[in-house]
């Protein structure tokens, strides 16, 4: 059992994952905003809403995974890789469940939602890799 007074005296472990999360989230939200703006100009509000929905779904699900990894790295660094895998599986299960249970409104454009989601995945991964490449990790976790 841990003592809360002792736990609060220990400094928080820095991992760098919050920075990766912030960079990737910003890039994902900006890509979503651009796609929604294009949708509004090209085909109107339904396309804009569809693009926003597709992009934000990717941002939220991807942010969930990185947040899980950040918490895991801070509290149980030996489980970080497992947290990545678990986050990926949970993301797919959550997306599959939502898509199979929640009916899409009639106004949703599958093309705008799907293509924006795909574009945001590419932008997210690029931003994530870019931010990750600037991190410096120790070979073995700190005790």
Question: pLDDT digits over 46-75, tens only?
Answer: 999 999 999 999 999 999 999 999 999 888
Cβ proximity of 90 and 61 under 8 Å:
no
Task: Return the closest-CA partner of residue 116 out of 46, 58, 40.
Answer: 58
Q: What are phi and psi of 70, to 5 degrees?
A: -60, -50
pLDDT at 132: 85
Judge if pTM exceeds 0.75. Answer: yes
Q: What are phi and psi of 80, to 5 degrees?
A: -60, -45
pLDDT at 55: 96
Domain ranges of the chain: 16-133
Task: Return the closest-CA partner of residue 59 out of 110, 108, 21.
Answer: 21
- CA atoms within a 13 Å half-sphere pointing along the CA-CB vector of 45: 1
């Amino acid at each position: 059992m841990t003592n809360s007074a002792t736990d609060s005296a220990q400094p928080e472990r820095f991992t760098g994952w919050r920075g990766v999360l912030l960079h990737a989230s910003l890039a994902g939200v900006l890509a979503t905003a651009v796609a929604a703006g294009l949708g509004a100009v090209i085909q109107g509000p339904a396309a804009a809403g569809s693009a926003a929905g597709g992009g934000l779904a990717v941002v939220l699900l991807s942010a969930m995974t990185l947040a899980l990894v950040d918490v895991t790295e801070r509290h149980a660094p030996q489980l970080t890789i497992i947290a990545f895998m678990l986050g990926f599986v949970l993301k797919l299960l959550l997306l599959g469940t939502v898509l199979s249970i929640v009916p899409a409104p009639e106004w949703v454009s599958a093309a705008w939602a799907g293509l924006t989601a795909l574009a945001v995945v590419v932008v997210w991964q690029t931003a994530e890799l870019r931010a990750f490449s600037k991190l410096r990790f120790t070979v073995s976790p700190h005790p």
